[in-house]
């Protein structure tokens, strides 16, 4: 198609693809950024952003018949509603298989910006508790990096994307370059004090979220307007997305070429020189095939799609998938085991309400197995949640008719305090992705077959988390309504990761300490596929930091003709 050879091709324009493009462009490289889905222009294409419920045909709930036929999987994720439904893939065009007796809800969006449009925006650093875990207990392979390797890149990413949060000086959840935190509600403040009083090692703090509390006007980004409708797209540019942040930065260099509707089928490999040379692309609209060449390739297609792309890229040198001499490609996939740990009513705050919608909840960082392995289970869990007063929808769950019912629903309901558990998922070999070459998707690509189950340790963690959550609420005088230790189906945390893990040993991992393929030195994988363990906090910030770090390294290597 094109005779031009780019310095780098980046596959995928989501959270990591945007960072790869920005970093490589700023290092002086000419970059081609490929996105499989449609273009989504910042502001212009956020079509439902400003609509009220009564301006939508189904009042924000969506047409269940349409959702059943086109979003059979996606509709089960809490971020999808009638405003945001077009950002989630059409399951009828993009089906996948799951192994017998297993479930995996694979939530994703195929469009410019990917899930950076709809993400939960929670940004948490990992600590050496996390990076050292595999090496310590023997599950998975030891990470080839430690906190000190990533810390400066966390600094850079946080400062650029804008993360609001409170410093707490917790070793297990290091502080970062925070913009001013958002405020706790009275119930959350009360719970913070109660938890600190009853449990000296536990901390409730405001969520660390990629929403600006201070504008970045030079980047065209306004401070958060406290709407909490981020997933529709934000014309204020107040939360981090590819569109609001990394893409404009990459574009500003004048060295970025962006192509949407470009589905990468395979990565090309030159066995003589032992290098990748470019990618083969299917134009989504025309179904025509195109080839693009580059001196190096970054895969940022989203963990599972990156794995599948490598698995499709078979050759005589790599009959089992590109960069897979270790045989570990596609294995050790993970997602946090999540569930509603506790829902409760917190009495005594009836004279307090709030104004505005804070686009983050609270977090209770991990507090188990920190200094030493003290519990019967390995690793740990954390909670995210918060306090709020139910609005009108409680009226669908209670008896009542007439004026009194209407009058009751006119005011806010009783304060509720809820905690969702996120438990670390151990890397297990049997949790794996393979390709089903007989069943294709709408682009003609073989479907993924996801084989994933949570193990006994994850179940133990959720059981402990349920008990602890109920205890914290009860000690504070709250009334427990519900608590669960049953994990939501795999994929529900939308933190799917692994499949091309980093490691010290090329016989047991795909990537080295710089996200560089052990087998091919001009191939980099910097999305969630690279993860060797899952920790129990949200992974996106770590993906971004690893991407910025790897891209800086790769650019330097390229300039020195080392790759």
Partner 1 sequence: MADSINNQRRAVLGTMLAAAGMSVVPQQVWAAIKAVPESPLLNRLCDITLPDTDTPGARKAGVPAFVITAIEHGLANCPATALVDFNKALALLAGKDFVALNPQQQLSLLTTIDDAAFSRAPVNHLGDAPTLWKAIKTLIVTGYYTSEVGGSQELRYVLVPGRFDADVPCDNTTRAFSSDWTGVKFG
d(CA 202, CA 195): 7
- What are the DSSP calls for 168-223, one per residue? --BTTB---SEEPPPPPPHHHHHHHHHHHHH-TT---EE--BSB-SS-BGGGTBPP
Q: Rounded to the nearest whole angstrom, what is the least distance from the CB of residue 81 to partner 1 in the complex?
A: 8
Q: Does 412 bind partner 1 (CB under 8 A)?
A: yes
Q: Which of 398, 474, 507, 556 binds partner 1 (CB under 8 A)?
A: 398
Q: Does 72 bind partner 1 (CB under 8 A)?
A: no
Which 347-376 positions form the footprint of partner 1 (CB under 8 A)?
A: 350-358
> In terms of CB distance, is 353 or 437 closer to partner 1?
353
548 exposed, middle or buried (CB, 10 Å; 0-12, 13-18, 19+)?
Answer: buried
Q: Does 125 bind partner 1 (CB under 8 A)?
A: no
> In terms of CB distance, is 58 or 553 closer to partner 1?
58
Q: Which of 41, 167, 373, 407 binds partner 1 (CB under 8 A)?
A: 407
Q: Rounded to the nearest whole angstrom, what is the least distance from the CB of residue 72 to partner 1 in the complex?
A: 13
> In terms of CB distance, is 360 or 515 closer to partner 1?
360
Q: Report helix, strand or coil for 337.
A: strand
> In terms of CB distance, is 50 or 197 closer to partner 1?
50
d(CA 83, CA 508): 44
With CB under 8 A as the contact rule, which of the stretches 261-269, 297-305, 405-413, 543-551 interacts with partner 1? Answer: 405-413
Q: Which of 74, 77, 85, 245 binds partner 1 (CB under 8 A)?
A: 85
Q: Rounded to the nearest whole angstrom, what is the least distance from the CB of residue 109 to partner 1 in the complex?
A: 13
Q: Does 136 bind partner 1 (CB under 8 A)?
A: no
Long-range contacts of 285-292 (CB under 8 A, 24+ apart): 285/261, 287/444, 289/265, 290/1, 290/2, 290/262, 291/1, 291/2, 292/1, 292/2, 292/6, 292/9, 292/32, 292/34
d(CA 367, CA 348): 28
Q: For residue 93, which of 48, 36, 40, 47 has the smallest C-alpha distance?
A: 36
Token look-up 């007989």 returns 438
Q: Does 411 bind partner 1 (CB under 8 A)?
A: yes
> In terms of CB distance, is 2 or 391 closer to partner 1?
391
Q: Does 68 bind partner 1 (CB under 8 A)?
A: yes
Q: Report helix, strand or coil for 26.
A: helix
Size of the site for partner 1 (CB under 8 A): 67
Cβ neighbours for 240, distance < 8 A, ≥ 6 positions apart: 116, 121, 161, 162, 210
Q: Rounded to the nearest whole angstrom, what is the least distance from the CB of residue 227 to partner 1 in the complex?
A: 6
Q: Does 207 bind partner 1 (CB under 8 A)?
A: no
With CB under 8 A as the contact rule, which of the stretches 389-397, 443-451, 514-522, 538-546 interacts with partner 1? Answer: 389-397
Q: Does 64 bind partner 1 (CB under 8 A)?
A: yes
Q: Does 197 bind partner 1 (CB under 8 A)?
A: no
DSSP single-letter state for residue 18? H
Q: Which two tokens stand for residue 407?
A: 């009058």
φ and ψ of 111, to 5 deg = -170, 165
Question: What count of residues does the chain have?
Answer: 563
Residues lying near partner 1 in the complex (CB under 8 A)? 47, 50, 52-54, 56-61, 63-66, 68, 70, 78, 85-86, 90, 182-186, 225-229, 350-358, 386, 388-403, 405-407, 409-413, 416, 418
């Amino acid at each position: 198609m094109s005779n031009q050879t780019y310095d780098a091709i980046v596959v995928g324009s989501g959270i990591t693809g945007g960072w790869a493009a920005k970093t490589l462009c700023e290092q002086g490289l000419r970059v081609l950024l490929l996105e499989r889905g449609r273009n989504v222009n910042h502001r212009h294409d956020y079509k439902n952003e400003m609509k009220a419920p009564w301006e939508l045909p189904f009042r924000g709930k969506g047409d269940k018949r349409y959702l059943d036929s086109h979003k059979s999987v996606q509709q089960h994720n809490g971020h999808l509603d009638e405003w945001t439904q077009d950002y989630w893939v059409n399951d009828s065009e993009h089906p996948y298989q799951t192994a017998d007796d297993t479930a995996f809800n694979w939530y994703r969006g195929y469009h410019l910006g990917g899930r950076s449009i709809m993400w939960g925006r929670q940004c948490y650093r990992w600590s050496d508790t996390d990076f050292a875990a595999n090496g310590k207990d023997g599950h998975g392979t030891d990470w080839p990096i430690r906190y000190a390797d990533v810390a400066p890149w966390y600094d850079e990413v946080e400062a650029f994307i804008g993360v609001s949060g409170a410093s707490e000086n917790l070793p297990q959840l290091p502080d970062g370059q925070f913009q001013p935190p958002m405020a706790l509600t009275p119930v959350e403040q009360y719970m913070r004090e109660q938890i600190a009083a009853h449990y000296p090692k536990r901390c409730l703090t405001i969520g660390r979220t990629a929403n600006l509390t201070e504008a970045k006007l030079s980047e065209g980004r306004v401070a958060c307007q406290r709407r909490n409708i981020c997933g529709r797209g934000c014309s204020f540019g107040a939360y981090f997305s590819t569109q609001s942040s990394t893409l404009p930065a990459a574009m500003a260099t004048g060295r970025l070429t962006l192509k949407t509707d470009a589905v990468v089928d395979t990565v090309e490999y030159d066995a003589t020189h032992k290098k990748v040379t470019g990618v083969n692309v299917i134009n989504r609209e025309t179904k025509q095939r195109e080839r693009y060449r580059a001196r190096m390739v970054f895969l940022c297609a989203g963990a599972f799609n990156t794995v599948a792309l490598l698995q499709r890229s078979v050759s005589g040198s790599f009959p089992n998938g590109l960069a897979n001499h270790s045989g570990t490609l596609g294995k050790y996939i993970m997602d946090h085991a999540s569930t509603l740990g506790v829902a409760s009513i917190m009495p005594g705050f009836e004279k307090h309400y709030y104004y505005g919608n804070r686009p983050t909840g609270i977090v209770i960082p991990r507090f188990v197995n920190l200094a030493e392995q003290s519990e019967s289970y390995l690793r740990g869990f954390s909670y995210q949640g918060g306090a709020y007063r139910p609005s009108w929808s409680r009226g669908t769950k209670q008896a009542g008719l007439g004026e009194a019912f209407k009058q009751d629903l006119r005011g806010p309901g009783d304060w509720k305090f809820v905690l969702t558990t996120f438990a670390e998922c151990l890397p297990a070999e049997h949790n794996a992705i393979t390709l089903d070459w007989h069943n294709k998707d709408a682009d003609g690509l073989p479907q993924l077959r996801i084989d994933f189950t949570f193990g006994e340790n994850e179940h133990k963690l959720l059981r402990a988390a349920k008990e602890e959550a109920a205890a914290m609420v009860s000690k504070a005088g709250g009334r427990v309504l519900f608590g669960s230790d049953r994990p939501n189906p795999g994929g529900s945390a939308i933190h799917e990761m692994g499949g091309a893990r980093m490691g010290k040993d090329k016989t047991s991992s795909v990537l080295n300490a710089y996200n560089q393929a052990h087998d091919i030195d001009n191939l980099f994988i910097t999305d969630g596929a690279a993860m060797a363990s899952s920790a129990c906090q949200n992974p996106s910030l770590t993906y971004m930091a690893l991407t910025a770090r790897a891209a800086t390294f790769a650019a330097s290597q390229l300039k020195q003709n080392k790759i």
